[in-house]
Structure 1
Amino acid sequence: MSMNFASPRMLLVAGGAVRQLADVLARFGLSRPLVVTDPFMVGSGHVRHCLEPLERAGLAIAVFSDTVSDPTDIVVEAGVERLEVGDYDCLIGFGGGSPIDTAKAMAILAAGGGKMRDYKAPFAADKGALPVIAVPTTAGTGSECTRFTVITDTERDEKMLIAGLGALPLAAVVDYELTFSVPPRTTADTGIDSLTHALEAYVSKRANPISDALALSAMALIGANIRTAYAEPHNAAAREAMMLAATEAGLAFSNSSVALVHGMSRPIGAHFHVPHGLSNAMLLPAITRFSVPGAAARYAEAARRIGFARDGDNDDTAAARLVSGLEALNRDLSVPTPAAYGIDEAAWTGKMALMAEQALASGSPGNNPRVPSAEEIVGLYREVWTGAAANR
């Protein structure tokens, strides 16, 4: 067996961990951070959780808060321009996946120049101009511990997967207390994002024993806690479990890769501006049903770990209960269909062939246990539109 496992040099996981942020920087001899965040974090005052410990330590701090949901190459270029006029020795990505992904992309683009599309997978984006310290405020993307970032090419209307060690944070500060104010819709979407990461990491053709252990642990935590975190936002035990699961799932898929759900999800986000976790949720039941024949035993074990199937269920029964369990989870978390979300049917139908082409080009579907053709991907997009997965 041969495998290559990469992770941040430090993972600080604890309630209140953000208060130790200055100490984390000091461990690495860093003192001049540019904090990359978003307008909501600034306007709501949540960014103070990040800034106050740095200010108390007397550090020189600057803030770049122009990030957007579904980060774009334009925003990354603006961030690099900000880097070039300052004297910074690190980047702190503070917020959901978008600020963290933006910080990663800024480090990569600043190191090599050119355009963000120059670093699109399969290019190995292994160089970063500055180290990134990630502080997630949602339990979902796992970006705090992955070697990936996803950036939209605005000219081509394409979400680009950028992969390499240049995107791997130096350290991650994982503090579940930062998620108490996350609204139910975001809790649901990011939670299913984590579940998708763990499930795809486990069934990926590139899975390994370490990613398996992390993925199985994450699935168990999510299955036991996602509904509680959604219904009871201030339930500390559920929030802590979901935050740990997000990090475990991030480590898992960073080292075994995602598969067909993510390959098909990114084009939905690019063309219809659906939040990433929500587009994953829309796709997950139908794509799981399609994929089960390629790895029935693995999908069955996932069902048992999540809690959808019993230990005594045979593989066929457990795999079937995985699909029905995912459908029920979507109903319980009020996941809309594309139509209910407000997407125009003609626009969706007209984009299906292009989205299938972009999904395959990303490489992620090639990791799936059952690798689809472009025609099969179009059929899955059609099934998701009609709601066939939710109505069986």
Structure 2
Amino acid sequence: MTAPIALPRIMRIGGGAVREIGDVVASLGLSRPLVVTDSFQVGTGAAEKMLDNLDAAGATARLFADTVPDPTTDSLEAGVAALAEHDADSVIGFGGGSPMDTAKALGILGRQGGQMREYKAPRNNIGPALPIIAVPTTAGSGSEATQFTVITDSTNDEKMLCPGLAFLPVAAVIDYELTLSMPPRLTADTGVDALTHAIEAYVSRKANPFSDSLALIAIGTIGKVLRRAYADGNDAEAREQMMLAATQAGIAFSNSSVALVHGMSRPIGAHFHVAHGLSNAMLFPAVTAFSVGAAEARYADCARALGVATSGDDDTAAANHLVEALRELCRDVQVPTPKAYGIDKTQWDELIPLMAEQALASGSPNNNPLVPSDAEIRDLYAQVYG
């Protein structure tokens, strides 16, 4: 059986790579990019520096900085208007997962129009779309190298997974220096997100040898340096390794899939406005404990890559070590339960049936080693509340 593999056409990786953005745009024959970012990148001056680099390379760029965390269909409307006003021939997603997801959505809307709900799974979107260039500023989402975007439907709070090559960036500029300003909470949430991507890519029913190799490398790196980056944001070596691992994990899951953690995570983010990486972290140990018996050998490989099991441990022991190691990691980086985060239990319980329905509808749980029933997903939501 063949494995369809898709990657960005161009990748620039390393400290200072963002200064080459103008060269990347020019090399693709593009000249009128819309830079999609957020107010934070404007406030730090990073967005202005990007515009200066684009201008120096002969590009005519426009800034759109009105993205929101966990982008919604309503939030896309101003971006679509900005594309048209600028007559943009490309979109640069500059920021964390939300600006990159926004840029990807604008790429397809700018060429095809319509509403984002028309592009959600199970539809496979192959284009046409405006070219996307992704410049991540966090080490977590991996969106710079994936063929997915996630947009919340403003009418019903459904966090929609939209897949297909139309959302794969043609270029990714990966500069770890952009992550040096990340605070500890964001470092932890995005770092655990990257680890979730890598482990789910490896245990997914759609895993393949290409995705396996990148997933295991990413797991090993994150196990060594995430706590360091969390403890000391100025640890440049840890930041650089985390940035590369996040991209490797993104490539891995883009070419296999994510599974139950992500399927259950998206509704939490949509209904309770919890950041994506944090909602993954809230679920990660419990969902892994639920799933581990269905693929002990695969989870054991993850444990050994993470450095929490040895070749002397049998697969059952190693897989169980992984579950405990994830619990310990989440304790070390102070991942709160939904209860500790401040989510009202009555509201949580009331929404469990809808969240379970939305998790299953996303398709991601079907990739899990143990495919859950609706009742089992409801039970997991109840378990993790705290």
Q: TM-score range by the shorter chain?
A: over 0.9
Gaps of 5+ in 2: none
In structure 2, the residue matched to 1:276 is 276
Q: CA deviation at 1:40?
A: 1.5
- Report the AA paired with residue 280 of structure 1: N
Instruction: Show the counterpart of 2:90.
Output: 90
* 1:315 to 2:315 alignment: yes
- Match of 1:228? 228
Aligned to 1:62: 62
* Equivalent residue number for residue 140 of structure 1: 140
CA distance in 2 between counterparts of 1:184 and 1:60 reads 36
Offset, 1:370: 0.1
Q: Residue 50 of structure 1 contacts residue 94 of structure 1 at CA under 8 Å; is this kept in 2?
A: no
Residue 2 of structure 1 deviates from its aligned partner by 1.4
RMSD after superposition: 0.9
Is the 1:18–1:49 Cα contact (8 Å) retained in structure 2? no
Match of 2:381 in 1: 381
Give secondary structure in 1 for the equivalent of 2:234. Answer: coil
- The aligned amino acid for 1:97 is G
Measure the CA separation in 2 of the matches of 1:343 and 1:270.
13
Aligned residue number for residue 158 of structure 1: 158
Identical positions, percent: 62
User: What amino acid does structure 2 have at the position aligned with 1:246?
Assistant: A
In the aligned structure 2, how far is the partner of 1:80 from the partner of 1:130? 12
**Equivalent residue number for residue 243 of structure 1:** 243
CA distances 1:335-356 after superposition (whole Å, capped 9, x unpaired)? 0010110100001011111100
Deviations 1:298-327 (A, max 9, x none): 001101101121232111111111011000
- Mapped to 2, the partners of 1:385 and 1:342 lie a distance apart of 10
* Contact map agreement 1:110 1:128 (CA 8 A) in 2: no
Distance 1:100 1:328 in 2: 31
1:1-392 → structure 2 map (5 Å cutoff): 1-386=1-386
Write out per-residue CA displacement over residues 329-375 of structure 1, whole angstroms, 9 at most, x where no aligned residue.
01100100101101000010111111000000000000000000000
Q: CA deviation at 1:156?
A: 1.1
List per-residue Cα deviations over 1:212-260 (Å, max 9, x = no partner): 0010010001001000010010111100110000100000000101000
Q: Aligned partners of 2:37 and 2:218: how far apart in 1?
A: 27
Q: Which amino acid is 2:319 matched to?
A: A
Distance 2:138 2:218 in 1: 15
Q: CA deviation at 1:109?
A: 1.6
Contact residue 26 and residue 59 of structure 2 kept, 8 A: no
SS in 1 for 2:86: coil
Shift of 1:80: 1.0
* Cα-to-partner distance string for 1:159-218 (whole Å, 9 max, x where unaligned): 000001110000000000100001110000000000000000000000010000010010
Aligned equivalents of 1:188 and 1:282: distance in 2? 12
Residue number in structure 2 paired with 1:390? none
TM-score normalized by structure 1? Answer: 0.97
Alpha-carbon displacement from aligned partner over 1:2-35 (angstroms, at most 9, x marks no partner): 1100010011111110011111111111121110
* Cα distance in structure 2, aligned partners of 1:49 and 1:365: 42
Alignment: residue pair count: 386
Which residue is equivalent to 1:389? none
Question: Separation in 1 of the partners of 2:236 and 2:128?
Answer: 36
Aligned partners of 1:296 and 1:255: how far apart in 2?
22
Answer yes or no: is the 8 Å Cα contact 2:26–2:57 preserved in 1.
no
The ranges of structure 1 where at least 4 consecutive aligned residues each deviate by more than 3 angstroms after the TM superposition are none
Unpaired segments ≥5 residues, structure 1: 387-392
Deviation per residue, 1:116-175 (Å, 9 max, x gap): 101111111211431010000000000000000000001011000000111000000000
What SS does structure 1 have at the residue aligned with 2:74?
A: helix
Scaled by the length of structure 2, what TM-score is found? 0.98
DSSP-derived class of the 1:162 partner? strand
Shift of 1:87: 2.1
User: How far apart are the structure 2 equivalents of 1:370 and 1:49?
Assistant: 47
